[in-house]
Amino acid sequence: MKLKALLAVAFIGIILFWAAGDLPAFGDPEAPATRYTGKLYVDLALSDIGVENIVAAILASYRGFDTLGEVVVIFTAGISVALLLRRGGRL
Amino acid sequence: MRRNVIIKTVSRFLVPFIQVYALYVIVHGALGAGGGFQGGVVFAASFILMIIAFGLTCVRERFNYKWIVMLSALGITIYATIGLLCLIPGGNYLEYGSIEALLGIPHLHGYLIDAVEIGIGITVMATMTSIIYDMGDTGGESS
């Protein structure tokens, strides 16, 4: 059983190392991840939103609905812990 | 647990500074590193320090369960209300640019992002504090 697991891990590892050769170099400006959408945000964030911090612009404005969902997730976690562990009395 | 006078004094000195720093991190979100999530957690850390120094019951008397739950709902309400206000001029939900175009105030978009970050910060702070209250509750036994 251990040998099979070792073989599986080695097989997947070889595939991953093989695929790693096709990855773009670290910090490559021509990488596909930074060439289209990322460049668009860098170019347009200041004129669209007027906020210097591009991260905040994406987080709160371009992806505002997603962030609302994240806050609801945190709220739900807190309410769930309260319902499970809170003793004596109402919420 | 015996409450050490050094821990009490140092945390009494430190807690306001941590809270001011947390407010700075929240409000600084649109300009540099920071944001509602980080600032809210730093604010909750000041409550954790108070719980370590003064005990859970002492902190809970000043800042009780009811207020915590109300605050955690208030933050989401601020966020969602700002999103709904964007519908009035005819924009999409959470499209802050529509309010800016209606009122004509420059940089209102950035201020609305700040307001949204404050809402996020209130919710994260209240939820973290609520979880700490529930986890640290020993049911009256001395801890």
Q: Which ipTM was obtained for this model?
A: 0.86
Contacts of A49 in chain B (CB under 8 A): 96-97, 109-110, 113
- pTM metric for this prediction: 0.83
Within a domain: B141: no
Domain count, chain B: 1
pLDDT of residue A66: 93
Q: Which has the higher per-residue pLDDT, B78 or B64?
A: B78
Within a domain: B108: yes
**CA B44/CA A86 separation, integer angstroms:** 19
* Residue whose pair of structure tokens reads 């000195």 in the numeric block: B13
**CA B18/CA B42 separation, integer angstroms:** 7
pLDDT digits (tens, 9 = 90+) for B115-140: 999 999 999 999 999 999 888 876 66
Chain A residues near any Cβ of chain B (below 8 Å)? 48-53, 55-57, 59-61, 64-65, 67-68, 70-72, 74-75, 77-79, 81-82, 85-87, 91
pLDDT digits (tens, 9 = 90+) for A48-88: 888 888 888 888 888 889 999 999 999 999 999 988 888 76
Burial of B75: CB neighbours in 10 Å, binned 0-12, 13-18, 19+: buried
